[in-house]
Amino acid sequence: MSPADTAAQISELATQHDFTVAVAESLTGGKINSRLSAAPGSSEWFAGGVVCYETRIKYEVLGVPEGTPVITEAAVSAMATGLADLMTADATVAVSGAGGPGSQEGNPPGTTWIAVLVRGTIHTELHHFPGEPEDILAQTEERALELLHTTMVKTCSSD
């Protein structure tokens, strides 16, 4: 399924189940925010996002503990949680990683952490996406949207 199709499905779920959605992006630099804001009816459920490319923004705005490496499960979990508080959102997705071409924090290009927080439950994933920086960003965007969608579906089915 394309990222646009996944975003449209997120829109349907958000509308039907009264979710407010927000995004915290480092690695992808706004790609996920852009995709969700273009989804049908987004003005009704999409709170917005924080593009936090600089490490200090993750610390100062999203509550990642100072000194925590930003390409870690702890960092994306804190980003997702901090964003939920900042935007009073029911569902958040946060991404951070090494896009390449060089390594970052000792992580090879393609190392990507994704966290999704939906109504108090957090899910995280570590990926090692192959390819050039553009490929890594596209794969991160696609997987982040998929994880947000599947987590929202699981939450709705358990309600």
Please give the pLDDT value at position 159. Answer: 62
Residues spanned by the domain of 67: 3-158
Summarize pLDDT for 13-66 with one digit per residue, the tens: 999 999 999 999 999 999 999 999 999 999 999 999 999 999 999 999 999 999
Cα distances (angstroms) measured from residue 106 to each of 22, 65, 75: 29, 19, 15
Token digits of residue 67 = 């000194």
139: how many CB neighbours lie within 10 A of its CB?
17
Note the pLDDT tens digit of each residue in 102-137.
999 999 999 999 999 999 999 999 999 999 999 999
Number of domains making up the chain: 1
Identify the CATH number of the domain in which residue 104 sits.
3.90.950.20
For residue 90, the SS3 value is: coil
Query: Which two tokens mark 133?
Result: 């920086």
